[in-house]
Amino acid sequence: MPNRMLIAVVALAALAMVQTASGASYQPGEEGAICLGCHAEKGMTTTFRNGETLSLYVNDKELAGSVHKNLPCSVCHSGFSPDQHPKRQYKSKRNFTVVKAEACKQCHTFKKGIHVQMLGGLKDGVCVDCHGGHSVQSMKETSGDGCTGCHRYPVTMTFKDGTKHRLEVDENGLKASVHKKLRCADCHFGFSAKEHPERVFKDRRNFRIVAAETCRRCHFDKYTKTLEGIHFNLLLSGNLKAPVCIDCHGSHTISSGRHEKVRSAQRCEACHGEIYRTYSTSVHGKALISSHNQDVPVCSDCHRAHDLSDPHVADFRNNIPQMCSNCHANEDLMKRYGLSTAVLRSYLEDFHGVTITYYKKQKNSVRHIAVCTDCHGIHDITRTKGPDASVVKANLVKRCRKCHADAADNFPESWISHYEPDFKRAPLVYAVNLIYSVFIPFMIVGLVLQIILHIWRYAVNR
């Protein structure tokens, strides 16, 4: 049967191919077989002049997995052959390694490229330090996408201004980061074991600004927000100190900012140290730092994180009451601290509140109107009750005088606080409201009744 014949031939051919393939996996060669005859035995050692010993055992399995498996031993171990086995003396184990590594340069000449730059920072490093000796492998196979193969060492790059930058990546930090599942090339776009474009940056800052541009490839929403932010616009205007993504979030050790508020505030501290110190003495800052209170606002709660605007512009100022009320009009939140949620309403009902509401609607802010922060403080917000109360009050008249220049010392007392006027706190206001709440309905009902009676009489008389 010709069919059966054909199957048999194909099967045989396949078998042969498999055998060839497996046969090709390791062939020590004639020379290798002779060397391994002795060196595959454990226990053989050599002693250096400084007394260090080194095992001369060669793991044949390791050798079989290396990219050099088909090379005869003498290619690297020059001078050695089945006939010749010169006796050499080395100072130390390290000296031995350095001398042996010279052998690599017979084939791998590095006159330029990544290794030349890299080795600049690795003065004492030699090839085998990274690549191993008998076990030398393709970089691709040694470590994931091969980056940490080199970047776990303190390799450096040199900027145009002469400064050096360490390119060592802390693998543990990387594994603990929120990006642990990403591959290096996801951020370092265009880099791989094969492609490793050489880039030259002016200086470290320039490098970091360019590096941060990769973030937008995933976090485009945040990126578009930053376009409206003051930091981005400072950067555009030439202030290179303005922070980019990685300045606040870190790079390889990036973590989610949601979990620990104090860290979020500390990020801002890096540049805004003075403000952070003021904040840390405020009622909010104290609670955050001393008791890790997670209810209190940190910088980004008021200033926002990505689209943070210039706090000196009118729009920001006019929005402060709404900003504070994010928490201070929240019934559940305020209950925990025994604070009133009437603060926003009572402010908005007063002259200042009405004015500012209309300034926002009119879209023209004629002048500064007192908002929450003017009486309560900005970064140094203090409690209005307790020991600080008198300080708050004493400062109040100063603020009043900014607009009401002729305000007398007791002028702030005309503000009867954010509470509804009651009999105890403001008897006069309470009385006026009470009288009118009775008088107006009494009057109107009386007059309407008279009108009805009048019409009724007129109709009856007709």
Partner 1 sequence: MRGKERLKHEYITRFSRWRIIEHQANAIAFIVLVITGLSQKFHDSSLAEWIIINIGGIDKARLIHRYTGLVLLVLTLQHIVIASFGVIFRRWAPTMVINKKDFTDVIDNLKYYFGMTEWPARCDRFDYKQKFEYWGVVIGGVLMVLTGLILWFPTLVFRWMPFLPGQIIPAAKATHTNEAMLAFLVIVIWHIYNSVFSPEVFPLDTSIFTGKISKERMIHEHPIEYERLTGVSLEKPHHPAEGDEEGTGEGSQDIV
Phi, psi of 175 (to 5 degrees): -70, -25
User: Based on CB atoms, which residue is closest to partner 1, 8 or 408?
Assistant: 408
204 to 120, 156, 160: CA distances (angstroms): 17, 12, 9
Exposed (0-12), middle (13-18) or buried (19+): which is 236, by Cβ within 10 Å? exposed
Nearer to partner 1, 24 or 394 (CB): 394
- Measured CA to CA, the distance from residue 408 to residue 47 in angstroms comes to 94
By C-beta, is 235 or 356 nearer to partner 1? 356
Quote the least distance from Cβ 369 to partner 1, whole Å.
Answer: 10
Which residue, among 387, 372, 275, 382, has the nearest Cα to 318 in the 3D structure?
Answer: 372
Q: How far is CA 231 from CA 174, 252, 312, in A?
A: 27, 22, 14
DSSP state string for 365-413: --S----HHHHH-STT---SSGGGHHHHHHHHHHHHHHHSTT--TTGGG
**Phi then psi for 328, rounded to 5 degrees?**
-75, -5
Q: Which is nearer to partner 1, 143 or 357 (CB)?
A: 357
256 versus 362: smaller Cβ distance to partner 1: 362
Q: How far is the CB of 444 from partner 1 (least distance, A)?
A: 5
Binding site for partner 1 (CB under 8 A): 354-355, 357-359, 361-362, 364, 366, 404-408, 410-416, 421, 426-429, 432-433, 436, 439-440, 443-444, 447-448, 451, 453-458, 460
Q: Closest distance between partner 1 and the C-beta of residue 384, in Å? A: 16
Minimal distance, residue 365 CB to partner 1, in Å: 10
* Residue closer to partner 1 (CB basis): 309 or 395: 395
> Residue 355 Cβ, how far from partner 1 at the closest point, in Å?
6
Taking the least distance from each CB to partner 1, the nearer of 235 and 396 is: 396
Q: d(Cα 453, Cα 456) in Å, to the nearest integer?
A: 5
The angle at the Cα of 137, spanning 131 to 142, to the nearest 5 degrees, equals 80
